[in-house]
């Protein structure tokens, strides 16, 4: 990175992104957050850089590099603060319904007829387990979650709170183990 004194323009924005990307990635890799992934932190850093490009004023006497680093750091710090707020705790402290140690049902060698029959039986067992052990609310929440809906979207669709959605998923996970 060099010391840039002139205001960046839209044509040079991509060169600034290339220049500052290693710095952004380095900052993001040093931070461990429960609710924010590495990619989220990199994205926040990029937003900070783009804000710096738009708001830089060379008449203030600071170099662009200094201003950009400050904007990047502040944006990442702001995202971390937002993530740590108490209102996000139910979503940040969830337990995944998927066990990381479990093997997926489909593996590359599962194309043999015997393995396909075994997979179908496992799917039937899981479906029966869901049907017998989960309440109707837990079934709805689980189905929406597996379809890719967020906690907030599920809570809006089912007219409930995000905390009740989280609780239902945790109960379903325990019941299905």
Query: The domain spanning residue 134 has which CATH number?
Result: 1.10.10
Could you tell me if 110 and 79 lie in one domain?
no
pLDDT at 9: 61
pLDDT at 23: 93
Following DSSP, what letter does each residue of 4-59 receive, concatenated? Answer: --SPP-HHHHHHHHHHHHHHHHHHHHT---SS--HHHHHHHHHHHHHHHHHH--GG
pTM: predicted TM-score of the whole model, two decimal places: 0.47
Tokens matching residue 175? 């019941």
The answer to whether residue 71 scores a pLDDT higher than 70 is yes
CA–CA separation, 6 and 53 (whole Å): 11
Could you tell me if 74 and 96 lie in one domain?
no
Element spanning 167, H or E = helix 162-176
CA–CA separation, 140 and 90 (whole Å): 19
The answer to whether residue 58 scores a pLDDT higher than 70 is yes
CA–CA separation, 10 and 127 (whole Å): 54
Could you tell me if 104 and 162 lie in one domain?
yes
Domain, as residue range, for 71: 10-84
Does residue 92 or residue 157 have the better pLDDT? 157
Could you tell me if 62 and 110 lie in one domain?
no
Express each pLDDT in 72-118 by its tens digit: 999 998 888 887 776 655 655 555 555 555 555 555 555 567 777 77
Q: How confident is the model at residue 20 (pLDDT cuts 50, 70, 90)?
A: very high
Helices (H) and strands (E) in the chain — how many of each? 8, 0
pLDDT at 123: 79
Express each pLDDT in 109-152 by its tens digit: 555 677 777 777 887 888 888 888 889 898 888 888 888 888 88
pLDDT at 100: 53
Give the single-character DSSP code of 103. P
pLDDT at 73: 92
pLDDT at 101: 54
Q: Which residues contact 79 (CB under 8 A, 6 or more apart)?
A: 36, 40, 41, 44
Could you tell me if 172 and 101 lie in one domain?
yes
CA–CA separation, 127 and 121 (whole Å): 10
Could you tell me if 123 and 103 lie in one domain?
yes
Write down which residue in 23, 52, 84 finishes a domain. 84
Does residue 12 or residue 54 have the better pLDDT? 54
Task: Note whether residue 24 is domain-resident.
Answer: yes
CA–CA separation, 162 and 151 (whole Å): 6
Could you tell me if 172 and 95 lie in one domain?
yes
């Amino acid at each position: 990175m060099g010391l840039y004194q002139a205001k960046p323009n839209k044509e040079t924005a991509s060169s600034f992104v290339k220049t500052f990307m290693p710095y952004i990635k380095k900052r993001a890799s040093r931070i461990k957050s429960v609710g924010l992934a590495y990619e989220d932190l990199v994205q926040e850093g990029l937003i900070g850089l783009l804000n710096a490009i738009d708001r830089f004023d060379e008449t203030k006497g600071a170099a662009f590099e200094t201003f950009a680093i400050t904007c990047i750091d502040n944006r990442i710090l702001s995202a971390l603060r937002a993530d740590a707020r108490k209102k996000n705790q139910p979503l940040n402290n969830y337990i995944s319904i998927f066990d990381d140690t479990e093997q997926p049902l489909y593996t590359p060698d599962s194309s043999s007829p015997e393995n396909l029959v075994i997979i179908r039986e496992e799917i039937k067992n899981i479906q029966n387990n869901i049907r017998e052990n989960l309440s109707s609310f837990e079934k709805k929440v689980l189905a929406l979650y597996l379809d890719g809906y967020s906690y907030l979207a599920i809570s809006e669709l089912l007219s409930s709170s995000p905390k009740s959605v989280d609780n239902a998923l945790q109960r379903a996970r325990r019941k299905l183990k």
